[in-house]
Amino acid sequence: MTHRVLLCRRLHPAGMALLEARADLDIVALHDPPVEESHQHLSSAEAVLCWLERLDQAALATAPRLRVVSRYGVGFDTVDIAACTARGIPVMVVNGTNDLSVAEHAMMLMLAVARRAVDADRHVKTGGWWFPGGPDMVDLAGRSVLVVGHGRIGSRVARYCRAFDMRVLVFDPLYHPARIAADGYQPVRDFHAALAEADVVTLHCPLSPQTRHLMDAAAFAALKPGAILVNTARGPLVSQAALAEALRSGRLFGAGLDVLEAEPSEAANPLFELPNVVVSPHNAASTEEGLARMARQAARNILDALDGKPDPAMMVNAEVLRQVGFTLS
Active site residue 20: no
Catalytic-labelled residue, pool 41, 234, 293, 296: 234
Q: Which residues contact 241 (CB under 8 A, 6 or more apart)?
A: none
Q: Which residues contact 29 (CB under 8 A, 6 or more apart)?
A: 7, 9, 10, 11
Angle (CA) 71-293-285 rounded to 5° is 70
Alpha-helical regions (H) of 53-98: 57-61, 81-86
Catalytic-labelled residue, pool 4, 41, 282, 300: 282
Query: Given the DSSP bridges, would you call strands 91-92 and 144-148 parallel, antiparallel or unpaired?
Result: unpaired
Active site residue 3: no
Active site residue 36: no
Catalytic-labelled residue, pool 65, 122, 192, 263: 263
Q: Which residues contact 89 (CB under 8 A, 6 or more apart)?
A: 60, 66, 67, 68, 69, 320
d(CA 151, CA 154): 5
**Residue 305, SS3 per DSSP:** helix
256 bridge partner residues: 230, 278
For CA atoms 93, 99, 100, 103, the dihedral sign is positive
d(CA 2, CA 28): 13
**Catalytic residues, which ones?**
234, 263, 282
